[in-house]
Amino acid sequence: MFKHPVNTNGPSQERLTASTIMQIYKKMHYDAVGVGPLDLSGGIDLLRTNGGKSFPWISANILDKQGEPVFRPYISKHSGNVEIAITALTGKANTIPQDIVIEDWQTVLPGLLQTIGSNRENTFIILLSTLTNTENQAITRKYPNISLIIGADSHQHNSSPKLYNNTLVTQTEKQGKFQGVLEIFFGTERKWGQERKKELADLQNNLGSLNWQLRRLQKRAANADKKDRYSISITRLQAEKNGLEKKIATLQEAIANEELSKSEPDRFEYRFVALKKSMANDHEIEDLLKKLTQQIRELHKKKATPGKRSATTQQQAATRLAGSVVCNECHARQFAFWEQTAHSRAYDTLVQKDKNLNLDCLPCHVTQDLYNSKVNPELQDKALLRLPAILLSVGCETCHGPGKKHITAPEQFQMAARVKEETCLTCHTDDHDDNFIYETKLQKISCPAG
Ligand code: HEC
Ligand code: HEC
Ligand code: HEC
Ligand code: HEC
């Protein structure tokens, strides 16, 4: 729901966005949504009120003070004769609402799996987990009856399904940049099968190369004066070969038995689908997003109205900045060049998209004092919404630093001509510019000399 923890009560851009996300999930007919630690930061009521009773929030380890689960601990669905249970575990959070506890998975899982009936042969258990990848792997060792863990470890991106013990573990990149599609073909028993034949092929490959090494050594030993030199290696390889042959025999037997008993294991196929901007929008959802844009505008309009401007926030935002127009007086060539670049139109771009009162967009599409780390973060939002018109573009001072003193005494207060790559990267992040190459892009915006 959120990119950062939100502490504010009352309406805010983050809360409006979160409730729209919930509406969209409902429209998309999600069966289950695991509660993540950041989701809690807006308070339990936000999730309950906006999601409504019918919203499929799942968490087995978020408990109230009486030890009762706050959300549904799991849901059941059927596919043929397979019973699918979807449960969720919430990772630890730094700040959580006062009235709840996030219980350890070790405490919750045994009872939960019993309630679900994990021992029944036809139960396929899916765990949505916001625990770390290490914890997920520990779960696969202790609870092989869990067939699938869909993780959300923030240190992992798209990770293809991997088998740990009898559990498949996978996850997609955070914040919906990809859709993970995992198709499961249920067999007659809840065991993952696909890997067995592949494993056999791998072992047979290894055996082939071992045999080759052995033959080579044996040949050398036959022709050498000091045969002892090779005997240790030959014995080692021979032992390795015996071990491999045993493994292969066991595996072949298992595969043959499977085929005899007609017991077919579960199989899967998967892919990740990149969600590109160019993809067509669903109309209903597009309407919800337009409504959100409208709501954010309404919310911020009051804060941004000139009549209510507070002098402090404006001063704060602009204390060291002069705006770009005044630079024109002495640096007309550079000004004329800058006017041709996209930086001069960055705010207009937001206006065209109806996003100029949106706090998610403003920081990179206006001029801020990037060189001043002391701007009070609490005033930041208000300051952004109330920037004076002269700062509504990615102006000169974004790159050259604050210029208020320079315009009064240029020789005494010098400006930096060079611009470091880090400065560009505050805005040209991976999320907003996926092909930023400093040298190439620098050329495009470097002001002319003179
Ligand atoms: C009143 C005239 C004047 C104004 C207004 C002015 N500058 Fe300058 N600027 C100068 C002069 C003169 C120099 C050369 C100073 C020196 O080298 O000692 C200079 C130098 C610079 C340099 C350094 C160039 C170099 O090669 O080192 C940059 C960058 C710069 N100005 C940016 C700006 C920006 C941005 C603004 C608007 C905020 C601005 N200036 C406004 C007169 C002005
Ligand atoms: C304050 C944020 C910010 C900083 C800092 C910044 N940019 Fe940009 N840049 C933008 C935005 C926003 C756009 C897109 C503007 C638009 O199209 O509305 C952009 C566009 C560009 C473009 C496309 C220009 C064109 O005319 O087609 C280039 C190239 C570029 N930036 C290079 C750089 C380089 C190099 C740096 C560092 C020296 C830098 N930018 C620093 C925000 C920034
Ligand atoms: C972290 C900084 C950052 C934020 C936040 C940001 N942008 Fe940008 N935006 C950029 C940069 C950098 C570019 C230029 C990218 C390039 O040159 O390829 C850009 C380009 C654009 C463009 C023109 C290119 C395009 O892709 O069509 C639009 C439109 C745009 N941004 C809209 C938005 C909107 C709407 C938001 C808020 C939802 C937003 N931006 C938030 C940095 C940002
Ligand atoms: C996106 C970053 C960026 C913006 C915005 C920008 N500049 Fe520059 N500017 C540069 C770079 C890069 C150079 C070249 C530095 C070098 O030569 O290494 C430069 C060079 C200059 C120079 C020195 C030219 C010389 O004589 O060598 C001046 C003066 C200047 N800019 C003024 C301005 C003014 C005025 C504006 C606004 C109208 C502006 N710049 C906007 C990045 C920027």
CA 58 – CA 86 distance, rounded (Å): 8
Taking residues 111-138, report their average pLDDT: 93
**Cα–Cα distance, 30 to 9 (Å, whole number):** 28
This prediction's pTM: 0.75
Among all chains, which residue has been given the structure tokens 């009486």?
66
> Once rounded to an integer, what is the mean pLDDT over residues 289-303?
91
Most confident of 114-118, 311-315, 378-382, 436-440: 436-440
- Tell me if 52 CB under 6 Å of ligand 1: no
Ligand nearest to the CA of 448: 4
CATH 1.20.58 fits 195-263, yes or no: yes
Q: Render pLDDT for 317-349 as a digit per residue (tens, 0 to 9).
A: 568 899 999 999 999 999 999 999 999 999 999
Q: Which residues pair with 273 in a beta bridge?
A: 179
Alpha carbons 172 and 158: distance in angstroms, whole number: 4
Residue 103 is predicted with a pLDDT of 96
> Which pLDDT score, from 0 to 100, does residue 308 have?
47
Check whether 8 has a pLDDT greater than 70.
no
Which phi and psi angles does 161 have, rounded to 5°? -60, 130
pLDDT at 29 over 70: yes
* Residue-wise DSSP of 184-223: EE--SEEEE-HHHHHHHHHHHHHHHHHHHHHHHHHHHHHH
Query: What is the arithmetic mean of pLDDT over 59-66?
Result: 95
Which tops the pLDDT comparison, 34 or 194?
Answer: 34
Q: Tell me how far apart the alpha carbons of residues 81 and 217 are, in angstroms, rounded to a whole number.
A: 56
Q: Which residues are 64's β-sheet partners?
A: 100
| Weakest-pLDDT range from 156-170, 332-346, 348-362, 368-382 | 368-382
> Region 66-94: what's the mean pLDDT?
94
Give the model's confidence band at 44: pLDDT under 50 very low, under 70 low, under 90 confident, else very high.
confident
Instruction: Give residue 31's identity as a one-letter amino acid code.
Output: D
At residue 371, the pLDDT reads: 76
Query: Closest by alpha carbon to 39, among 236, 175, 169?
Result: 175
Task: Tell me the CA–centroid distance for residue 331 and ligand 1, in Å.
Answer: 7
Q: Does ligand 4 lie within 6 Å of residue 366's CB atom?
A: no
Q: Which CATH architecture has domain 13-188+266-274?
A: 4-Layer Sandwich (3.60)
- When mean pLDDT is compared across 221-225, 406-410, 431-435, the lowest value belongs to 221-225
Whether 338 is in the pocket of ligand 4, judged by its Cβ within 6 Å, is: yes
Atom 35 in ligand 1: which residue has the minimum CA distance?
A: 396
Q: Which residues contact 270 (CB under 8 A, 6 or more apart)?
A: 160, 161, 170, 180, 181, 182, 183
Give the model confidence (pLDDT) of 408-420 as tens digits.
999 999 999 999 9
Pocket lining: 446 vs ligand 2, CB cutoff 6 Å: no
* Mean pLDDT for the stretch of residues 266-294: 91
Cβ(334) to ligand 4 under 6 A? yes
Asked which of 127-131, 331-335, 446-450 is least confident by mean pLDDT, the reply is 446-450
In this model, does residue 287 exceed pLDDT 80? yes
Using CA of residue 99, residue 105, residue 111, residue 114, what is the dihedral sign?
Answer: positive
Q: Which ligand is nearest to the CA of 355?
A: 3
The answer to whether the CB of 358 is under 6 A from ligand 3 is yes
Range with the poorest average pLDDT among 10-14, 103-107, 309-313, 404-408: 309-313
Ligand 1 lined by 190 (C-beta under 6 Å): no
Please tell me the predicted confidence (pLDDT) of residue 309.
47
Q: Is the pLDDT of residue 7 over 90?
A: no
Q: Hey, where are the domains in the chain?
A: 13-188+266-274, 195-263, 306-445
Min mean pLDDT across 120-124, 179-183, 341-345, 420-424 is at 120-124
Q: Which two three-digit tokens encode residue 226?
A: 């000091």
In angstroms, what is the span from residue 414 Cα to ligand 1's centroid? Answer: 7
Residue nearest to atom 11 of ligand 4 (CA): 446
Ligand 4 touching residue 283 (CB < 6 A): no
Mean pLDDT within 288-297: 95
Ligand positioned closest to the Cα atom of 341: 2
Mean pLDDT of the chain: 89
Confidence of residue 229 (pLDDT cuts 50, 70, 90): confident
Of the ranges 276-285, 304-313, 358-367, the best mean pLDDT one: 358-367
Give, to the nearest 10 degrees, the angle between helix 105-116 and helix 133-142: 50
Q: How many CB atoms lie within 10 A of CB 67?
A: 8
Is the model more confident about 305 or about 176? 176
Helices (H) and strands (E) in the chain, counts: 15, 13
CA–CA separation, 439 and 445 (whole Å):
10
Q: Is the CB of 364 under 6 A from ligand 3?
A: yes
* Fold exhibited by the domain 306-445: Flavocytochrome C3; Chain A, domain 2 (1.10.1130)
> CA-to-CA distance for 66 and 81, rounded, in angstroms?
36
Residue 156 or residue 224, greater confidence: 156
